[in-house]
Amino acid sequence: MTVATIPAPAFAIERFKLANGLRVVLAPDPGAPVVSVAVVYDVGMRSEPEGRTGFAHLFEHMMFQGSHNVGKAEHMRHVQSAGGTFNGSTHIDYTDYFNLLPSNGLELALFLEADRMRGPAITEENLANQVSVVKEEIRVNVLNRPYGGFPWIKLPAVMFDTFANSHDGYGSFVDLDAATVADAQSFFDAYYAASNAVLSVAGDFDPAEARELVERHFGNVEARPAPVHPPFDEPDLTAERRESYVDERATLPAIAVAWRVPDPVTELDDFLPFVVLGELLTDGDASRLVERLIHADRTATAVAAHTTFMAEPFASRGPTTMIIQAFLPPGTAIDTVLGTIDEELIRVGEGVEEAELDRVKARVAAQLLRGDDSVMGRSRRLATAEIFHGDAAIATRFAALLGEVTAESVARAAATLTPQRRAVLEVIPGGVQ
Amino acid sequence: MSNVVPGLAPEVPLSLPVPVERTLPNGLRVLLLRRPGVPLAEVRLSIPAAHTDLAVADLLSAALFAGTETASMTEIAQRLQGVGGALGAGADPDRIALSGNSLATGLPELLEVLGDLLKAADYPAGPLAVEQSRMIDGLSVAEQQPDFQVNRVLDERLWGDHPYGHQQPTAAEVAAVEREAVLALHASRIHPAGARLIIVGDIDTEATSAAVEKALGDWNGRGEPRGMEPLPEPVPGPLILVDRPGSVQSALRVAYPAVARTHPDNAAQHLANLIFGGYFSSRLVMNLRETKGYGYSPRSRVDHAPPGSIQLAAVDVATEVTGPALAELHAELRGMAERPPTADELDLARRYALGSVKLATATQSGVANYISVLAAGGLPLAWLAEHSERLREVTPADIQRVCAERLDPDRAVTVVLGDGAEIRESLAAFGEVESR
């Protein structure tokens, strides 16, 4: 697939900024009578204070507990009574809140997001309630299942040394229990300014009318300075690091191998070849590692490669990573698999055929387009593109940018993934086999 | 500062697209829908497969892409990848289903690959053995997942000897499958008669129809269509405790009777389920999550399968609150009849239900899935419009009647999976406990 034949989504994008610093993105598309409203705050797990692991996520829960004109559980009730759905999610570098409604609910969603942008109504009681809910979330997703949180919870500590980069963003129960209403207020004061957020609206609406509604509801949100993001960078590894842990409910050995990669924002051109490389290695039965590890050698039962801890190459800052993770048949030695991965990376480093690269790019383009099928996905992607890349419209060009990645640059990227620079996390299956 | 919650603009009426439908001479039913938006196409193929051996059908689904008489697995994967495409398959007690997508321009190629697989999949011994061991590995992990563990017991408890009573094969059953059995299943069941192909996307329906005919017109053979017996009525009985030593949570599952989509009470049942536990603003979520903090996602849903329907309430809670959480769950279930929903509660659920239809049909993949799900029950997409009208007419009295008839803990089947040593005593308060 050549760059010229990679299709791009065909919706318009308008961008503007309010006096209080709120950046606004409008992407009208009358295709279906629904509208999505997303607000992304430029703060994630990396910014939570020491002793308060998991706080960014806990705070996201607190943003649903009511605000100036909205009581507890009323945000959900208002959205659902308009026939809509809502959610929020906390990531390494951002937190988003999103609503999808029939298009007649646009003003309601804008009102609700503006109301909590002025501050959530946090009490001892609703904080204690949500600490309990978050613990149950962690039990369901991490503690009570095999491979819970693998590898994103424990891998950062193998790769990184600073608190910001290395801690468990889901949080320890001790830290969650220690959270106070005052902590929430200072987190809000520090990071939830309008000038640290992007509002994005996608779907069936009139842009002129939406602009007026945005002004009406968000225009008088207090102007506060945006936080200065500290540099999170730290030195690359110079020698391999390995950690392992026993997972009592795991039945298969598993490994995650990770390397530092160029900064997805400030070194985008150098970063993109790693995104293509990930697909070339593990997307589908024609990919290098699936063919070799699963089908030829039978030393893996599943394998996946991606950039950034949460597989969101266009919604992350540095320092970040490329990860290859594999589940192995019982009894397989991890060094065998590591050795094979090294061999395959060296092979890629020796050169990639254009035909193979074109196939991979076609699939990457289709997957990016699929993310735009729903206006909810679209509004979230546009907002994070504005946050991280300073231009929502770049979200419609990611497929084309990946299309410009050359075979030489993919080979060069693979050649940087050497054993000395890698961090390895191993899961040792527990006693249940 | 505005402080009045704004109302809604005038409602945009539901407008459902109508798929172009035809049946090929070989019996394949084809539904095509042009839905521009992103330049992609979504493909769903459903092949009836009642009363097949579960392990064989699962292995067939996993190894369908492993090679044909003329192409290797890698060649097949390369053809799909080259058009931005992917295909996957899965089996359930009723059918073998394929699902995939590609760039819209690549749809003819995806259909050609699909045709080659359906007509000439060869299940070569090497790749088949790989898929077989991967399935066994995957099952060993799944068997440690609370949801998988509890569903297996719940299915068996609810449906017994009906094929729905055993929906996940064991590792031993998978290991025992011979290549000949997979080939025989393909030969006897992978046929167009009774099968349904759905394509939704940025497509020209006429050109796509021609591409389907070219790729699948000569897919043939004789099927052995077998119907599925209706699901039996759930029979209440002792609470079942599934011991999972060391479990830090208990998985509570409460199943109770439901009526089919075509039953006159279906619209009221839909709304009653929402009010009870079917959406965030429900009684179950407000109580168990937002008040007590017992669980992350208490929920209730109505499952409509071709041979029958069931309602299921579910929540995973910390081990130490197992008894109190189950008591609340039962109380909320009983409360649906004892404290009937108010007109406001009903209107909220109704507006949510009406909006959900618009949301679910707003994407290419959503429309493709909805067409597929409804067609499995013999209903067209247009049924959603009729259902929406019926939702508008449901009264509080209808809800009360439906709840009194079916939302009753005494008619429910309850299964709890958790650390038996820690929770057995607290469960004894609910009556007889049967341990598994």
pLDDT at position B409: 85
Closest residue in B to A129 (Cα–Cα): B293
* DSSP type of residue A5: G
Rounded Cα distance between A297 and A326, Å, is 13
**CA angle (B91, B95, B98) in 5-degree steps:** 65
CB–CB of A121/A68 below 8 Å?
A: yes
Residue B1 pLDDT class (50, 70, 90 cuts): very low
Instruction: Give yes or no for residue A176 having a pLDDT over 90.
Output: yes
User: Domain check: are B53 and B196 in the same one?
Assistant: yes
Judge residue B408's burial from the number of C-beta atoms within 10 Å of its C-beta, 0-12 exposed, 13-18 middle, 19 or more buried: middle
* Residue bearing tokens 């490994």: A255
First to last CA, chain A: 46
CB–CB of B278/B307 below 8 Å?
A: no
CA A246 to chain centre: 27
Phi, psi torsion values for B303, nearest 5 degrees: -100, 115
The size of the A-B interface in CB pairs under 8 A is 245
Distances (CA, A) of A216 to A121, A213, B1, B3: 22, 5, 9, 12
Q: Does the beta-carbon distance from A298 to B130 stay under 8 Å?
A: yes
Instruction: Give yes or no for residue A304 having a pLDDT over 80.
Output: yes
User: Domain check: are B426 and B325 in the same one?
Assistant: yes
User: Domain check: are B250 and B205 in the same one?
Assistant: no
Q: How far is B242 from chain A (nearest CA, A)?
A: 15
Rounded Cα distance between A274 and A389, Å, is 18
Best mutation site among B144, B275, B346, B348 for testing chain A: the one with the most A CBs within 10 Å?
B144
Phi, psi torsion values for A195, nearest 5 degrees: -75, -5
Picking from B137, B171, B177, B150, the residue whose alpha carbon sits closest to that of residue B53 is B177
* Residue bearing tokens 């059953």: B173
pLDDT at position A185: 96
| Beta bridge mates, B31 | B21, B198
pLDDT at position A224: 97
User: Is B228 a member of any domain?
Assistant: no
Instruction: Give yes or no for residue A145 having a pLDDT over 60.
Output: yes
Give the CA dihedral B418, B419, B425, B426, nearest 10 degrees. Answer: -40
CB–CB of B256/B234 below 8 Å?
A: yes
Percent of chain B with pLDDT over 70: 99
B96 half-sphere exposure, CB direction, 13 A CA radius: 28
Q: How far is A84 from chain B (nearest CA, A)?
A: 6
pLDDT at position A301: 98
**CA angle (B34, B38, B44) in 5-degree steps:** 55
Rounded Cα distance between A199 and A179, Å, is 28
Chain B contact present for A359, CB below 8 A: yes
Looking at the partner chain, which of B1, B352, B363 has a beta carbon nearest the beta carbon of A374? B363
Maximum alpha-carbon separation in chain A? 63
Closest residue in A to B34 (Cα–Cα): A31
Q: How far is A378 from chain B (nearest CA, A)?
A: 11
Rounded Cα distance between A222 and A207, Å, is 24
Picking from A425, A282, A260, the residue whose alpha carbon sits closest to that of residue A341 is A282
Q: What digits encode the pLDDT tens for the residues A282-294?
A: 999 999 999 999 9
Domain count, chain B: 2
User: Domain check: are B210 and B312 in the same one?
Assistant: no
User: Is B2 a member of any domain?
Assistant: no
Rounded Cα distance between B405 and B264, Å, is 14
Looking at the partner chain, which of B8, B138, B141 has a beta carbon nearest the beta carbon of A104? B8
The ipTM (two decimal places) reads 0.95
Rounded Cα distance between A224 and B313, Å, is 45
Q: What digits encode the pLDDT tens for the residues B89-111?
A: 999 999 999 999 999 999 999 99
Binding-face residues of B in 49-68 toward A, CB within 8 A: 65
Instruction: Give yes or no for residue A249 having a pLDDT over 70.
Output: yes
CB contacts, 8 Å: B78 with chain A: 286, 359
User: Is B97 a member of any domain?
Assistant: yes
Q: What digits encode the pLDDT tens for the residues B122-143?
A: 999 999 999 999 999 999 999 9
Which of B182, B216, B250 is the endpoint of a domain?
B216
Looking at the partner chain, which of B5, B10, B290 has a beta carbon nearest the beta carbon of A108? B5
Rounded Cα distance between A320 and A306, Å, is 11
pLDDT at position A2: 57
Rounded Cα distance between B353 and B393, Å, is 13
Look at the domain A3-218 and name its fold.
Answer: Cytochrome Bc1 Complex; Chain A, domain 1 (3.30.830)
Chain B contact present for A223, CB below 8 A: no
CA A111 to chain centre: 26
Rounded Cα distance between A78 and A80, Å, is 6
pLDDT at position A361: 95
User: Domain check: are B253 and B192 in the same one?
Assistant: no
| Three-state DSSP class for residue B61 | helix
User: Is B54 a member of any domain?
Assistant: yes
For B337-358, what is the mean pLDDT? 95
Residue A4 pLDDT class (50, 70, 90 cuts): low
Q: What digits encode the pLDDT tens for the residues A206-248?
A: 999 999 999 999 999 999 999 998 999 999 999 999 999 999 9
**CA angle (B433, B435, B436) in 5-degree steps:** 145
Instruction: Give yes or no for residue A364 having a pLDDT over 80.
Output: yes
* DSSP type of residue A165: H
Picking from A94, A16, A74, the residue whose alpha carbon sits closest to that of residue A380 is A94
* Residue bearing tokens 């979520």: B285
pLDDT at position B232: 95
Phi, psi torsion values for A355, nearest 5 degrees: -60, -40
The chain-wide mean pLDDT, for chain B, equals 95
Q: What digits encode the pLDDT tens for the residues A5-45?
A: 667 777 899 999 999 999 999 999 998 999 999 999 999 99
Instruction: Give yes or no for residue A433 having a pLDDT over 70.
Output: no
Rounded Cα distance between B182 and B53, Å, is 10
The strand ranges marked E within B60-186 are 86-91, 95-103
Rounded Cα distance between A320 and A159, Å, is 10
Q: What digits encode the pLDDT tens for the residues B47-63?
A: 999 999 999 999 999 99
User: Is B43 a member of any domain?
Assistant: yes
User: Is B227 a member of any domain?
Assistant: no
Percent of chain A with pLDDT over 90: 95
What would be the CATH architecture of the domain defined by A241-429?
2-Layer Sandwich (3.30)
Q: Which domain holds residue B40?
A: 20-216
For A177-200, what is the mean pLDDT? 97
Instruction: Give yes or no for residue B4 having a pLDDT over 90.
Output: no
CB contacts, 8 Å: A106 with chain B: 9
CB–CB of A429/A252 below 8 Å?
A: yes
A149: left (phi over 0), alpha (psi -120 to 50) or beta: left
Residue range(s) of every CATH 3.30.830.10 domain in chain A: 3-218, 241-429
For B399-424, what is the mean pLDDT? 93
Instruction: Give yes or no for residue A144 having a pLDDT over 80.
Output: yes
User: Is B230 a member of any domain?
Assistant: no
pLDDT at position A368: 93
pLDDT at position A285: 94
User: Domain check: are B102 and B176 in the same one?
Assistant: yes
CA A413 to chain centre: 22
For B171-200, what is the mean pLDDT? 96
Binding-face residues of B in 229-268 toward A, CB within 8 A: 246-249
Residue B220 pLDDT class (50, 70, 90 cuts): confident
User: Domain check: are B326 and B366 in the same one?
Assistant: yes
pLDDT at position B224: 63
Rounded Cα distance between B17 and B205, Å, is 13
SS (H, E, C) B377-397: CCCCCCHHHHHHHHHHHCCHH
B238 half-sphere exposure, CB direction, 13 A CA radius: 12
Phi, psi torsion values for B29, nearest 5 degrees: -90, 130
Looking at the partner chain, which of A69, A85, A249 has a beta carbon nearest the beta carbon of B3? A69
* H or E stretch at B54: helix B54-63
Judge residue B37's burial from the number of C-beta atoms within 10 Å of its C-beta, 0-12 exposed, 13-18 middle, 19 or more buried: buried
Q: Hey, how many other C-beta atoms are within 10 angstroms of the C-beta on A248?
A: 12
CATH number at residue B293: 3.30.830.10
Rounded Cα distance between B263 and B381, Å, is 17
